[in-house]
Chain A
């Protein structure tokens, strides 16, 4: 808990320059990432659907995203008659800003091997390879994801039209619901690392692969986080927000031109940021073997590879899974993911206390699993009773 060594010797103009350059580099990484992610997504989906995909602009269609961007900028900017002008204008920015701000707490590299604390020497200063390391790290992530709701909600409302409003109410309900599961699965990670700061969480996973939180927490919080993150991103199979068959285009139906482009940008920024966050929290961030040469390069390389795996998985999910129904989505969030996350938190908490007190690991584990099973039986029993009662209310007869 010492903070970035960059600030250890006071703040002079070099430090200020460092921070500004870091922020610029972070922004560039995300923007260039978005350009390639859009191309990547279209190409991969095309492959999975036996099409060729974009292949006109540039080699392998690589410049397709740039062409799209230029097209969007020069399109006419339409204002719906009943739009609430200031809010309509504000909403796209409220979508983009949190997406980028979350990326600032991700350590994209750093030397953690051999007892090193992750600091890297650049231009005679030691610093961490992340734009910011707030002491509340993970809470900052949750704060930003709760702010991201505003962009979507206000976009839908300010359009003054019914489909966007329905889409945005759906989206906000979905995001607020899954935030709970997201937060609870992060708590397990925080419990193991003993710190909220993303840098400390990565440092705690720096040893062998067994120290990675995905293994140290036995995978359950990781799975919950991945599902909840997909729902937070409003990506398939949880893209009810823009379900074309029901809502035209969802919250951004009335947006055109570059304002629409900004929502598009925010969506892909969020996808990249969320993949980076998953890697940071559960897969050790830049942790990985240093084969030869400078360890700095290898950290960044491992981090990029891990993020790419998740980016591919998100595209893969979109190409293969049908969309969830709304009640299924809410059932999954409230009745399955949140209880499971809470229960698993108890198991991990019991293990941690057992470790401090010197209890037998397996007895503690077995006891907490028994308690968990009993609680699960009680919960699902209660849910079934409630469902049966609701059905008998609706149809006027007792369904046995």
Chain B
């Protein structure tokens, strides 16, 4: 009973947020709607007893990634309402419509045949029974069975950070003193 109510409320919040992301004309409003969707998903995670996932969802996605989006939007000054009359990429809208239809079809198939289609079980993972706690179990699995994948992921992130620093670095000015260095720097900032 409580579960159903929580699910219904969270679903409304998620869907309203998702529709808002697409329909808002102002990028900042879109980003805020995205936060709303992420919060709704965190609530659903809590309802599934995945507390750790919910907390990380809020910390990483809402707390870091969308804040970064907002930073970029504010600093680049693209926070004015978008003009929708022109189509920047030719054929983008029909293609988007097709993909949307395909996704809806896929979801419909999954919803109608609920159990068997994708994995054969009702949820991706079985509930944890008799374990010390969800977080302890997660940590144990992460640092034993999947430690290699875990470390590779962290190496990937380090590479990304180093790459970002290299890209953002000011190029050394030419000894001849032409303006090329400045221009390249400006380009790197825009990219």
B63 part of interface (Cβ distance < 8 Å): yes
Instruction: List 9 A-B pairs, Cβ < 8 Å.
Output: A134-B51, A136-B55, A142-B63, A143-B55, A146-B63, A150-B67, A153-B70, A154-B32, A393-B173
User: What is the CA–CA distance of A143 and B59 in the complex, to the nearest angstrom?
Assistant: 5
Question: Are A153 and B172 interface neighbours, CB within 8 A?
Answer: no
User: What is the CA–CA distance of A136 and B51 in the complex, to the nearest angstrom?
Assistant: 6
- Which of A87, A140, A153, A176 is within 8 Å of B64, CB to CB? A176
Question: Are B52 and A139 interface neighbours, CB within 8 A?
Answer: yes
List the A side residues contacting B55 at CB < 8 Å. 136, 139-140, 142-143
B167 part of interface (Cβ distance < 8 Å): no
Say whether, besides A157-B28, A165-B74, A1 and B132 are in contact (CB < 8 Å): yes
Question: Are A169 and B67 interface neighbours, CB within 8 A?
Answer: no
User: What is the CA–CA distance of A172 and B134 in the complex, to the nearest angstrom?
Assistant: 32
Assuming A87-B32, A196-B135, what are 20 further A-B pairs, CB within 8 angstroms?
A1-B132, A134-B51, A135-B52, A136-B51, A139-B52, A142-B55, A142-B59, A143-B59, A143-B62, A146-B58, A146-B59, A147-B62, A150-B35, A150-B67, A154-B70, A172-B70, A172-B71, A176-B64, A393-B170, A393-B172
List the B side residues contacting A169 at CB < 8 Å. 71, 74-75
List the B side residues contacting A139 at CB < 8 Å. 52, 55-56, 59
Contact code string A32-70 (vs B, CB < 8 Å = 1, else 0)? 000000000000000000000000000000000000000
B144 part of interface (Cβ distance < 8 Å): no
User: What is the CA–CA distance of A146 and B56 in the complex, to the nearest angstrom?
Assistant: 11
- Report which B residues bind A (CB closer than 8 A): 26, 28-29, 32, 35, 51-52, 54-56, 58-59, 62-64, 67, 70-71, 74-75, 79, 132-135, 170, 172-173
Q: How far is the CB of B74 from chain A (nearest CB, A)?
A: 5
List the A side residues contacting B35 at CB < 8 Å. 150
User: What is the CA–CA distance of A169 and B70 in the complex, to the nearest angstrom?
Assistant: 10
Question: Are A146 and B67 interface neighbours, CB within 8 A?
Answer: yes
Question: Are A143 and B63 interface neighbours, CB within 8 A?
Answer: yes
Q: How far is the CB of A150 from chain B (nearest CB, A)?
A: 7
Say whether, besides A142-B59, A393-B170, A393-B173, A135 and B135 are in contact (CB < 8 Å): yes
Say whether, besides A135-B133, A136-B54, A84 and B59 are in contact (CB < 8 Å): no
User: What is the CA–CA distance of A196 and B52 in the complex, to the nearest angstrom?
Assistant: 10
Say whether, besides A140-B55, A147-B63, A150-B67, A135 and B74 are in contact (CB < 8 Å): no
List the A side residues contacting B135 at CB < 8 Å. 135-136, 196
Question: Are A135 and B59 interface neighbours, CB within 8 A?
Answer: no
A283 part of interface (Cβ distance < 8 Å): no
Question: Are B64 and A136 interface neighbours, CB within 8 A?
Answer: no
- Considering only residues 138-187 of chain A, those with a C-beta below 8 Å from chain B are 139-140, 142-143, 146-147, 149-150, 153-154, 157, 165, 169, 172, 176, 179
List the A side residues contacting B170 at CB < 8 Å. 393
Q: Which 10 A-B pairs have the closest CB atoms?
A: A146-B63, A139-B55, A143-B58, A136-B55, A136-B51, A135-B51, A143-B59, A1-B133, A143-B55, A157-B74
List the B side residues contacting A146 at CB < 8 Å. 58-59, 62-64, 67
User: What is the CA–CA distance of A291 and B95 in the complex, to the nearest angstrom?
Assistant: 75
Question: Are A147 and B58 interface neighbours, CB within 8 A?
Answer: yes
Q: How far is the CB of B147 from chain A (nearest CB, A)?
A: 15
